[in-house]
């Protein structure tokens, strides 16, 4: 029988599944040295978040075929090392969706009726009915930032409370939103319309401090903010100022930029509800986590394909030389499209031209999906789990092939079909490197890598100098620049590869320029 080491506690339901098919040892007393010492005896390892499955730990697992993470993230597992060693990694990203969604609904009602504050006054011997006048959530607008698994569960429950639901999620299809009874809109419109805004996005570079002073100012006066996602998504200093200044009526927080939030002025604020990160803390969620990770590990041990595998797929050796560079390009092209297209997308199209039309492009398609989804999801997105996530989001993808690639040996084209028409991105391989040759309809040529700045602007004399001066004043060095335009003195795009990330105040300054319609910074 296969041997499985469970190094951190999981629910008994999960252990029962494992014990029915394998020999299981539960050892929650191991330090790193102890884990390394005994790991050579096991075919599978199951951890939660405390055990660090580093490269040297994985190297000790000479029999190891799979590592299971009982939870959503896999930050404590060296995925690159696992992949290099042929060790599959599985997790349980869907197990806490209902638990977090129900907590969110509880926070909505608690904000509406001041339940925690009213409870504390009764406990203190007071009877202050007039102090806690609330409001009904029926016919109010709930704004969701993120419409993945958890956001969708919140939407279903909010619709049951007769709330209007609007959401921002650039990769969710309009058909999927329609099924949920949700209206998709750009982020600024969601913030402006909503009486209550609830966040359901991961904490990654593009979402860190997503809800900053500017975004808070875009919210309706008297609105409420709920964060049961990740603490760093909200600029907590700006949130405190928005509440104290009277722009927001209050907030409910289950996560914080630092946990526990010792000394955080939001804790104890009379208009803020604070919880100790209880999102997944239900008996049912913990049981489901244990079962999901157990089933994933057992499927992997049997040679199957687990539902929630997070490693990259295998590319056959005979295709590796041709396909591998386009896999890298596809991921970067997807990230570029997701970073620049913020309108709701009805359908994505991939076109394989030239040499790409002669091979199996499945790895390229998976890489494009990975790039499209990577900046929007809670869990780490890889080519293995990207199709599952895309299916859950209702993301539609159509593929075409043609042997004609014009002046290129091969060309990869990605289109996002929106209500305003197609937004097109294209790339090829030049000197072994991925190059973008078309970005959002503008003919430009650049390597999509590192910190980048994109401006959509009117073609006017001095625009390049203005942007360069602002970056220079912020000590941001420009590595390369390319400009494309539709016609002289008309719409143009500037693409700058940078040595350093662009500070937020520089982006704010660029957006104040009258001839710049939009400025976006991406790290690809």
* Enzyme catalytic residues: 230, 259, 277
Strand partners, 452: 497, 522
Report cis status (omega within 30 of 0) of the bond before 273: no
Residues 6+ apart with CB under 8 A from 212: 235, 238, 504
- Cβ proximity of 302 and 90 under 8 Å: no
Annotate 433-464 with b (16+ C-beta within 10 A) or e (fewer).
Answer: ebbbbbbbebebbbbbeebbbbbbbebeeebb
Distance between CA 457 and CA 437 in Å, rounded?
19
The H-assigned helical ranges of 341-457 are 362-374, 386-393
Q: What phi and psi values does residue 371 have, to the nearest 5 degrees?
A: -65, -40
The DSSP code sequence of 245-266 is TTSEEEEEES--SSSS-TT-TT
Distance between CA 272 and CA 398 in Å, rounded?
46
Distance between CA 5 and CA 501 in Å, rounded?
42
- Cβ proximity of 493 and 440 under 8 Å: yes
The strand pair at 183-184 and 164-168 is best described as parallel
- Cβ proximity of 278 and 131 under 8 Å: no
- Cβ proximity of 256 and 236 under 8 Å: yes
Where are any strands of DSSP class E within 126-256? 141-145, 164-168, 183-184, 196-199, 223-227, 248-253
Residues 6+ apart with CB under 8 A from 217: 242, 247
Find, among 41, 60, 61, the residue nearest to 1 by Cα. Answer: 41
Distance between CA 49 and CA 75 in Å, rounded?
8
Angle between the 97-113 and 149-160 helix axes, to the nearest 10 degrees?
A: 50
- Cβ proximity of 325 and 359 under 8 Å: no
């Amino acid at each position: 029988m296969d041997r499985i080491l469970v190094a951190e506690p999981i629910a008994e339901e999960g252990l029962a599944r494992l014990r029915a098919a394998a020999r299981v040892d539960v050892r929650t007393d191991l330090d790193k040295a102890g884990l390394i010492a005994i790991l050579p005896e096991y075919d599978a390892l199951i951890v939660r978040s405390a055990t660090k499955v580093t490269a040297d730990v994985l190297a000790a697992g000479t029999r190891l075929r799979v590592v299971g993470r009982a939870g959503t993230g896999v930050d404590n597992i060296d995925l690159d090392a696992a992949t290099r060693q042929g060790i599959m990694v599985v997790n349980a990203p869907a197990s806490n969706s209902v638990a977090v969604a129900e907590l969110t609904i509880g926070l909505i009602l608690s904000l509406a009726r001041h339940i925690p504050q009213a409870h504390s006054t009764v406990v203190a011997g007071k009877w202050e009915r007039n102090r806690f006048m609330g409001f009904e959530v029926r016919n109010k607008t709930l704004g969701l930032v993120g419409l993945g698994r958890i956001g969708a569960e919140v939407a279903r429950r909010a619709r049951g409370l007769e709330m209007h639901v609007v959401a921002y999620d650039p990769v969710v299809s309009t058909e999927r939103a329609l099924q949920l009874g949700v209206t998709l809109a750009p982020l600024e419109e969601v913030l402006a319309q909503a009486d209550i805004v609830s966040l359901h996005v991961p904490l990654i570079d593009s979402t860190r401090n997503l809800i900053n002073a500017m975004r808070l100012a875009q919210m309706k006066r008297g609105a409420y903010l709920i964060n049961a996602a990740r603490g760093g998504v909200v600029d907590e200093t700006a949130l405190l100022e928005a509440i104290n200044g009277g722009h927001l009526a209050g907030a409910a927080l289950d996560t914080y930029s630092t946990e526990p939030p010792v000394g955080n002025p939001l804790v104890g604020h009379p208009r803020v509800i604070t919880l100790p990160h209880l999102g997944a803390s239900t008996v049912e969620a913990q049981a489901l986590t244990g079962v999901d990770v157990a089933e994933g590990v057992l499927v992997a041990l049997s040679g199957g394909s687990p539902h929630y595998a997070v490693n990259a797929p295998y590319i056959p050796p005979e295709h590796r030389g041709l396909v591998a560079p386009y896999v890298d390009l596809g991921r970067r092209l997807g990230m570029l499209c997701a970073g620049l297209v913020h309108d709701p997308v009805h359908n994505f199209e991939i076109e394989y031209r030239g040499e790409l039309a002669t091979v199996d492009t499945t790895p390229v398609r998976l890489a494009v999906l990975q790039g499209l989804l990577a900046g929007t999801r809670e869990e780490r997105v890889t080519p293995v789990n990207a199709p599952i996530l895309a299916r859950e989001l209702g993301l539609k993808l159509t593929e075409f092939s043609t042997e004609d690639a014009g002046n290129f040996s091969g060309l990869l084209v990605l289109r996002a079909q929106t209500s305003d028409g197609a937004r097109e991105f294209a790339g090829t391989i030049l000197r072994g490197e991925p190059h973008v040759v078309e970005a959002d309809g503008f003919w430009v040529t650049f390597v999509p890598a590192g910190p980048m700045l994109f401006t959509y602007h009117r073609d006017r004399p001095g625009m390049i100098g203005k942007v360069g001066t602002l970056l220079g004043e912020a000590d941001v060095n420009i590595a390369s620049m390319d400009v494309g335009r539709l016609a002289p003195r008309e719409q143009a795009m500037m693409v700058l590869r940078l040595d350093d990330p662009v500070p937020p105040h520089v982006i704010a300054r660029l957006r104040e320029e009258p001839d710049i319609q939009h400025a976006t910074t991406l790290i690809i």
